[in-house]
Structure 1
């Protein structure tokens, strides 16, 4: 075999192509040939340069980026092969890809020639298809310098796809791996001459096996002087099915909540997975905002179950990382302060419109048992829902829900109009009350009429969302109310112990004001009951604006529970940038007036430090005045965190009138795989496992603090499922002895997958060797350099100097510039004693090639 039929390394290709400045296109009309004598110092010393002629990219297999009409598809193998005519190679090459790679390019095969269609249809999945023979002339260009394959095709030859589309064949199920995300915290509060200790742990464990993803999420709490309690939030296994754009889930989960309220269940569910749709075809968990007076713990519940818990510093907070909890069902938020007090509020949670794009549909089918901390029993739950977009203006939907003792059926429609989007549906429900006091109590039935409206007026910056629920009869109950009523009656209580909703109205609106006058928002929520004269209400008004670089906001909230007790809260926030003054980035001021005229004022400064901003710190000073007792107290809290390459460490210390509090914690994740155990300071669900052997210290671009560890691995979190993600590695921080042959790849993982992304490295010492031949003549320009294992490691450059990445401090090299015996030589080398491979960019020395 000719030495030049070998695959060239990226290093060789880069050097040669940079010097000769060419890229290969298919079937060019103008052919030319390099003069081999022109590139030799000796006119009689001919070098084989046929591989550099037009249409003769070095034969071999490359991992190149595929680009179709400027759209980056991903990276895959591209083969450059000699074109054969009557079994003999001619002076042209073919650009080949595998049959299963061709499908990812979205080429409309039906628009190609009949001969091309036959070749493609008859090809095996791993067959190599010559693109420049199948596609229109001059539409294929392979650049070995940039390692890109560009296809420039008329749109007629392409299948039209929406923006953000990724071919399902490119979705990656990932490798077999185990994951564990953790958030651990230990705290101690000294209050009332007594210490109160608390341990908290949030664990998110997973195991992935051939497209099956096992998950467990749980919370461990151990309050002071009590045994620990572990709450299983959910345990399940899921598998995403591309053919139906859906997900099969078995275990603990929530119903979708699109038509009926969200319910927690244990059982099985199959439902559409909207993430599988391209971005252009997609449409939720709410953002929870509040303000803590002290170093506090925020607890969020839905249907009585804890779904989130977090320690926060004094001042305003914003929680944006709730697990998706469906489209309906209020959230109960509790702020547990360090001084023993607590704040409570309810967050209404309802979407406003069920419109879908034409031809798309949403579906779900759930069977299992209801999981609710409000019920001792676990009633069976069966629920099925379906929505379909008929056209741009009309969506129809319906669903059923129930069991042997409860049945509900719903039908509705969503309509888009120039004045906004409307949806209207009717639900009929029947509940068997069961037996109480030895007598069958019969059943109750009724209807619920629901109207929703939403409108966003971009020209005026107005957004209006209205959701109205009216329960027309006393006999209507939703599933949870029906099951609760049955249970209390079976225990000897009257059915009116459980309140039955009569009507509910929620309104929210936001308005951006002209010029620089800011934005305000309002929201209101009210619910009345058939069997209770009391009404629940909540109103909120807010205003936000900026003055130059200073931002400020005002929020007012009034809530009234079913007992008629009203609470008013007013909050003013001011944020001032400090431009790293004394190491601080920002100063904030918060003034909060709560119920009973209690005033709380907070002033804080925060900052970041470190090359990767891996250190965060905050100092908070506060003062509270009790309007009832005319007393005041002050507090001081200092907290910070440090993100290492393996975990994130946080600590807090605070003191106020009558109390002291301290806490420390760790957060991050670990991934166990066939190559070992890899740690990361970030916790997510969908990861890339980067493998780059020998590249210890290399940084992952866009993920501060993540570096390749000493075993050659790094974990990149927060990948977007079913979309192309750039996973890029930076050579910054690498030893000079290591070269990355590739620095960026694209992956489209399944949701929950651990995708392996491998980067080949060349390990060795960069050397520039002046090695003339034994006869004193210079080595030919472009000659290849091989090590003792016959690996291609370098090339001869101008002046006959040899550049190679040699594998050891001493050894032997072979230089080849043709097939003849007199077109190759060998040299021995020994690095100079004064050479410092760890610091020198290139080590220079002399030798002789014999």
Structure 2
């Protein structure tokens, strides 16, 4: 971030005082164009009557044309014809035609804020500005009938121009020139889980004591416009061969702004929009919709489930572990699993404290393919298929493109060229009154070794519709492989390798047909009905897998409840029907007399296989920002095959400024127990040193500097606070959008003043943005200022430093407030009309302090010309 010249709040306060005593007043600069007299750019003349102010002379000459603006660069909020354009660094230049410094722009800067210059408007000035790229003009010099109003107190610049000179941007547009690549930094993200179970029940042949631990590291380096990332998992299990290392991916990436895309070298995933997603080691150039004003966000599934105990939840995709956490008993929802790519079914494993495991497959694919008219999405990938199942990694070149041909029609297609595999896909998506459809066909040729060459077709159709009349959201996706000879790239590679190495894996893993449906219906009195189902049909001898569920939810004044019915059947014909009832009761979380626990959650489930579960859990939180959350509960379970058991569990989590820590534990009547510990956070090395912070992930983050403001809280900063060295880390910024950074000064001592506690940044993906908040540290000093004739300096006199930066404005009795002034090392000056005098403490007066009241020092000084 560049250093910016800002007017302090003291100046604004003093200006208000002056205005109170005026006969006519104005608190902001106003600039109006005049075709006949271009230099008439100042505010209307203000007439002040100093006789209303007693106790000394009054210097009001500098306020005769409003609150004067000092020349410099100001970070201001710009609006054009009432439309917010964002915060920009605007130059205010001193002109010979005005006493105030006026806002001035280059033609490129005007283009960025949405203003264009007509060929017929001021042709001489326009030509001159085009020759000298960095030459700045006031808007009035370039555009007739324009108006500029600057509000100094709020740092807002309001510009009005004729409609013909306004550039109309799409809603949500952010100028790419504001996208910030950030600083050169290195960081290490960590997420550690230690999980221990002990089972001594007679149900087991021998007592079982198991320890597992997983530490996930994400290393990052931002250098110039590049970002390097490497994710590694360290897994250790007592009963599974000790330590194992999984290198999930390594890549380097950068923005290609001109194409609104990302260029990536290394390990990645192809998108699943046209072809099935697969792991790639190579290079990709792929459109990034986050760069578009209202682009579609990448789709990521929300994973839901039910845990009977303090359970470990593991999410796998493409055979790799992508997420692992520990959840308390009851229903859970995971929305930050970070699924890789745009598609590929997820496999969820819930490992209970007593060792039981439950498995669920979550379908994951891209939504229907519609784009706005004129929008293009593309992807080019070159490299080799990366899969743990394969020994020989086939080379592949893939290209896909989507184009919004019309407002309701998008066409798309793609091609894959490999050593032993080729495919071609075409399709279109259309928006109709009955919903959005996408239909496509893929033709593939696969060389499978001893099986020869296979040709096949795959047809896919997707549909979605939201019914406004009934508040029904319906999504249907059906995939049908119409011929037995169709193979995806991954399926063909596995099949071919099986024949080559005599370890045939079998084509029965290929789906012949799959169908999924999800319907969400809003009902009466804050209630809803959700219906979902999936159907898989496979080639060869595998059976059909089906999953159905229906859930009714309702939120009442004092509690909410849910009723669910589920049916699961696998390929072997086994099935299970389950009913689930749950109730959630809040305990007045926002009341003044806050209880120990915030809510009560209880649930009951039963299935046709004799599995019965009843649990009750209490949860609560403490701290100004709920830094500590905790819970405890009991459960009863009965299974025909295992008998019954009771359990007691508890957990506590603490979110600190430098990370999050958690502890869980449980015991049951089978002499089984579970204990786990988790810790997550980050270590960031930057130009100011090394700073600890919360977990960062791969999204942009801010390194906030506020020297001397130790303990200041970052608002919405995930618990971040300014440390003793003056830094804090704020995670999870939104790329290519405005992000507001706020520092709360609550609780800071009187010796610290945060002059800038709010800034707006627009980061690129993965950027580390340095945000310097201007602070002033030192003992507050009230100066009593006199001239060489022992007369108080006039009210309204401005005090500046060596850099001509305003420090204060004199009030009645010659008093002015400054902070941390050291007369031995710092100079202060007073501007009286157009003269300047230097402020010096009176002789014989101690320089460190005169009359002290609490933490405020009073010091008498004289101003020498």
Normalised TM-score (structure 1)? 0.91
Question: 1:564 pairs with 573, 589, 607, which one?
Answer: 573
Residue 23 of structure 2 aligns with which residue? none
Give the C-alpha shift of residue 791 in structure 1.
6.7
Pairing 1:330–2:345 present? yes
What number of residue pairs does the alignment pair up? 829
3-state DSSP of counterpart to 1:156: helix
Q: Partner of 1:24 in structure 2?
A: 29
Q: Residues 827 and 353 (structure 1 numbering): CA distance in 2 closer, same or farther, change over 3 Å?
A: same
Return the match for 1:237 from 232, 236, 252.
252
Are the structure 2 counterparts of residues 99 and 583 from structure 1 closer, same or farther at C-alpha, using a change threshold of 3 Å?
farther
Q: Measure, in 1, the Cα distance between the counterparts of 2:662 and 2:484.
A: 53
Q: How does 1:28-47 map to 2 (within 5 A)?
A: 31-32=44-45, 34=47, 38=51, 47=59
Query: Does the aligned pair in 2 maintain the 1:301–1:308 contact within 8 Å?
Result: yes
What does residue 3 of structure 1 align with? none
SS of the residue 1:13 aligns to: helix
Q: Partners in 2 of 1:412 and 1:711 — Cα distance?
A: 57
Distance (whole Å) between structure 2 residues aligned to residue 833 and residue 173 of structure 1 = 49
Structure 1 residues 62-85: Cα deviation after superposition (integer angstroms, max 9, x where no partner): 33332333444343333333323x
Query: Structure 1 residues 29 and 712 mapped into 2: Cα distance closer, same or farther (>3 Å)?
Result: closer
2:194 alignment partner in structure 1: 186
Paired residues for 1:553-702 under 5 Å: 553-580=562-589, 582-594=595-607, 596-628=609-641, 631-656=643-668, 657-684=670-697, 685-702=699-716
User: Residues 537 and 559 of structure 1 are in contact (CA less than 8 Å); yes or no, is this contact kept in structure 2?
Assistant: yes
Are the counterparts in 1 of residues 823 and 841 from structure 2 also a CA contact under 8 Å?
Answer: no
Q: How many angstroms does 1:255 deviate by?
A: 0.7
Structure 2 distance, partners of 1:267, 1:353, is: 28
1:415-465 per-position Cα deviation (integer Å, ceiling 9, x unaligned):
211111122111111111114xxxxx3211111122222211021111222
Equivalent positions of 1:803-814 (< 5 A) are: 803-808=817-822, 814=828
How far apart in 2 are the matches of 1:698 and 1:101?
A: 35
Equivalent of residue 452 in structure 1, options 453, 459, 462 = 462
Q: 1:114 to 1:280 in 2, by over 3 A?
A: farther
Match of 2:500 among 490, 498, 504: 490
Aligned partners of 2:598 and 2:618 also within 8 Å: yes
Q: Contact between 1:812 and 1:826, CA under 8 Å: does it hold in 2?
A: no
Q: 1:193-241, CA deviations, whole angstroms, 9 ceiling, x for partnerless residues?
A: 4432222111121100111010112221101153211211211111111
CA contact (8 A) 1:771 1:800 kept: yes
1:82-101 matches, cutoff 5 A: 82-84=94-96, 91=99, 93-97=101-105, 100-101=108-109
Say which SS state the counterpart of residue 722 (structure 2) adopts.
Answer: coil
Q: Mark the CA change 1:239 to 1:824 in structure 2 (over 3 Å): closer, same or farther.
A: closer
Alpha carbons 1:578, 1:584 under 8 Å: kept: yes
Equivalent residue in structure 2 for 1:212, among 223, 226, 231: 226
User: Does 2:183 match 1:175?
Assistant: yes
Question: Secondary structure at the residue paired with 1:17?
Answer: helix
Which residue in the other structure is 1:133 paired with?
A: 141
Kindly tell me: are residues 495 and 803 of structure 1, through their superposed partners in 2, closer, same or farther at Cα, counting changes over 3 Å?
Answer: closer
- Aligned CA distance change for structure 1 residues 601 and 833 (closer, same or farther; 3 Å): farther
Contact 1:140 1:150 in 2 (8 A): yes
Aligned equivalents of 1:453, 1:159: Cα separation in 2: 37
Q: Which residue of 1 aligns with 2:852?
A: 835
Write the mapping of 1:352-751 to structure 2, written as runs, cut at 5 A.
352-435=367-450, 441-492=451-502, 496-513=506-523, 515-516=524-525, 518-532=527-541, 534-580=543-589, 582-594=595-607, 596-628=609-641, 631-656=643-668, 657-684=670-697, 685-751=699-765
1:326-367 Cα shifts (integer Å, max 9, x gaps) = 443221111111211100111122345211111111111111
- The answer as to whether partners of 2:411 and 2:428 remain within 8 angstroms in 1 is yes
Q: Does 1:275 align with 2:285?
A: no
Q: What CA deviation, in whole Å up to 9, does each residue of 1:626-685 have, x standing for no partner? A: 2345x3211111111112221212111211222111122211222210111111124333
Give 1:709 deviation, angstroms: 1.4
Structure 2 equivalent of residue 309 of structure 1: 324
Moved more, 95-104 or 677-686: 95-104
**Structure-2 separation of matches of 1:821 and 1:428:** 84
Kept in 1, the 8 Å contact 2:58–2:795? The answer is: no
Contact 1:267 1:368 survives alignment (8 Å): yes
Q: CA deviation at 1:174?
A: 0.7
> The residue matched to 1:608 in structure 2 has which SS?
strand
How far apart, in 2, do the equivalents of 1:822 and 1:297 lie? 71
Secondary structure of 1:485's aligned partner: helix
Unaligned runs of 5+ in 1: 1-5, 436-440
Take 2:398 and 2:279, find their aligned partners in 1: how far apart are those partners?
Answer: 12
Distance, in Å, in 1 between the alignment partners of 2:800 and 2:520 is 69
Change (3 A) 1:129 1:349: same
The answer to whether the 8 Å contact 1:797/1:803 transfers is no
Q: Identify which range, 640-649 or 779-788, moves more after superposition.
A: 779-788
Distance across 2 between alignment mates of 1:518 and 1:477: 44
Q: CA 1:715–1:136 in structure 2 vs 1: closer, same or farther (change >3 Å)? A: farther
Q: Closer, same or farther in 2 for the Cα pair 1:667/1:62, shift >3 Å?
A: same
Aligned equivalent of 1:196, options 192, 210, 218: 210
- The CA distance in 1 between the partners of 2:43 and 2:89, in whole Å, is 28
Number of the residue aligned with 1:438? none
RMSD, aligned α-carbons: 2.8
Closer, same or farther: CA 834–185 of 1 in aligned 2, 3 Å: farther
TM-score (norm 2): 0.90
Q: Does the Cα contact within 8 Å between 2:58 and 2:796 map onto a contact in 1?
A: no
Offset of residue 39 of structure 1:
7.8
State how far apart, in whole Å, the 2-side matches of 1:780 and 1:308 are: 67
Distance in 1 of aligned mates of 2:430 and 2:335: 30
Do 2:304 and 2:334's aligned partners in 1 also have CA atoms closer than 8 Å? yes
